[in-house]
Amino acid sequence: MADRYLSFTATAPGRFLTARLGLPQPAALSRWTAERPALDGHLLHLTAGGPSGLDLAPVLARTGLPTTTETAGADTGTEAAGATAGTTRRAAVVLDATGVRDVDALAEVHAALHPVLRSVAASGRVVVLGAPLDARDHHQAAVQQALEGLVRSLGKEIGRGRTVNLVRLTDASAAESTLRFLLSPKSAYVSGQVIGVGAEAPDGPVDWILPLIGRTALVTGGARGIGAAVAETLARDGAHVVVLDVPQAEEDAHRVAARLGGSALTLDITAADAGERIAAELPDGLDVLIHNAGITRDRRLVNMPAERWSSVLDVNLASVLRTTDALLAKGALRTGGRIVATASIAGLAGNAGQTNYGASKAGVAGLVRSLAPRALAEHGVTVNAVAPGFIETRMTAAVPLFIREAGRRMNSLAQGGLPVDVAETTAWLAHPASGAVNGQVVRVCGQSLLGA
């Protein structure tokens, strides 16, 4: 279902009318295309709180964006003065605030961002880098946590399709895949997020063009909607994709697989032996497991028969637990493997009529947080989740008009996301260079007002 309001506000009369009426004015987001794979403009690298110890410059240089560096307000770059005055187009600002340890240093964050925000282009990026909270220093922990409040608030006020995210890190190379993602058009619908990245830098060279070449990825529920977009994006990144879906969706599953040069597997993921059947189908193992299949059976709890409860819990949570356990136990996920499960903001914030769905998706987040450290230690496999907000699919096209309109607008970008937004986020988590991203639940929700 096309977002006609978004198209209308892109016209001159639409802009005029919505501005006069004080209505939301969503900006058309720039998304990744093969022709325009990078943001358009310069990257400004700022530091607050003194030198951080991160070796960030080479990593930022590899984003391909021309970079200007400024430290504590002093210009060291050639275009810095003009840019600060708003004459250079900023595609992105990266503020390294890892060295901020007290409230005085926090003022440097304000001093660094305040003069440059106006120069950030539409669909531009603000990425703040923070340090892990120090359990032995409550002043450091207070101001590092303060960065979250700053980032989430700035995300809500910055407008024009611009996003603001916080990355907590200790090693710049370990965070390269994350920074490349956030500093690219691929993260168009990811805003207001706090992402923790560990210290394990990738060993060996990384193919940034076809990162998944030679790897096999299985996408459950891949015949349509978000799953089909995930399959397509992983295939773009070089993976051989296995599209798994229920027997009723066999035709669609084959069509998607044929288009991507992959294969189809018709299987109800709730089958008790689903894990064993996947392992039998892929005797050489797999590298990327995407738990995307999901259903809704909405009804308020007082009216909800047990069958509606259990069918949702079975598809969305129990089958994810069962197949993950079976595939890990069989060693079917190769070292360096990636598991990405699909949660939902309904599981993080709650939603009326969705106690079953919300429970199942919150369960996915719990599974990820508990399993991630063990799966990495025992199998060399990371486990993360994406938590979509309002995404334009058949699922949301079926929502009644008024609720659908509210769902679309109630986020900082004032529009619904597209399946490709979830797919790009999944591809970043599935990336061979994302081994230091583990146990994260990343929302793809345009910074939804729900539970933000």
Q: Which is nearer to ligand NAD, 49 or 388 (CB)?
A: 388
Q: Which is nearer to ligand NAD, 396 or 447 (CB)?
A: 396
- Determine, following the binding rule CB under 6 A, whether residue 226 of this chain makes contact with ligand NAD: yes
- Determine, following the binding rule CB under 6 A, whether residue 396 of this chain makes contact with ligand NAD: yes
Segment lying near ligand NAD (by CB under 6 A), choices 16-24, 32-40, 76-84, 264-272: 264-272
Sequence-separated (6 or more) residues with CB below 8 Å from residue 401? none
Residue 360's DSSP bridge partners are: none
CB of 325 to ligand NAD, least distance (A): 17
Interface with ligand NAD: number of residues (CB under 6 A): 27
Q: What distance in Å separates the CA atoms of residue 209 and residue 28, rounded to the nearest whole number?
A: 26
CB of 13 to ligand NAD, least distance (A): 30
Segment lying near ligand NAD (by CB under 6 A), choices 7-15, 135-143, 176-184, 215-223: 215-223
Q: What distance in Å separates the CA atoms of residue 194 and residue 51, rounded to the nearest whole number?
A: 22
- Determine, following the binding rule CB under 6 A, whether residue 421 of this chain makes contact with ligand NAD: no
Sequence-separated (6 or more) residues with CB below 8 Å from residue 388? 226, 342, 344, 345, 417, 422, 443, 444, 445
With both helix axes pointing from N to C terminus, report the angle between 319-329 and 355-379 in degrees, rounded to the nearest 10.
10
Strands 216-220 and 120-130: unpaired
Q: Which of 194, 391, 413, 430 touches ligand NAD by CB under 6 A?
A: 391
**DSSP structure class, residue 144:** H
The set of catalytic residues is 357
Residue ranges of alpha helices (H) inside 85-182 are 103-113, 138-157, 176-182
Burial category of 435 from C-beta neighbours within 10 Å (exposed 0-12, middle 13-18, buried 19 and up): buried
Segment lying near ligand NAD (by CB under 6 A), choices 115-123, 207-215, 234-242, 390-398: 390-398
Q: Which of 344, 351, 415, 448 touches ligand NAD by CB under 6 A?
A: 344
Neighbours of 44 (CB within 10 A): 27
Segment lying near ligand NAD (by CB under 6 A), choices 183-191, 262-270, 301-309, 330-338: 262-270
Residue pair 48/104 in contact by the 8 Å Cβ criterion: no
Q: Which of 32, 181, 189, 390 touches ligand NAD by CB under 6 A?
A: 390
Q: Which is nearer to ligand NAD, 269 or 427 (CB)?
A: 269
CB of 182 to ligand NAD, least distance (A): 21
CB of 421 to ligand NAD, least distance (A): 10
- Determine, following the binding rule CB under 6 A, whether residue 363 of this chain makes contact with ligand NAD: no
Residue 411's DSSP bridge partners are: 448
Q: What distance in Å separates the CA atoms of residue 217 and residue 195, rounded to the nearest whole number?
A: 24
Segment lying near ligand NAD (by CB under 6 A), choices 79-87, 91-99, 206-214, 383-391: 383-391
Residue pair 40/90 in contact by the 8 Å Cβ criterion: no
- Determine, following the binding rule CB under 6 A, whether residue 49 of this chain makes contact with ligand NAD: no
Q: Which residues bind ligand NAD (CB under 6 A)?
A: 220-221, 223-227, 245-246, 249, 268-270, 292-295, 315, 342, 344, 388, 390-391, 393-396
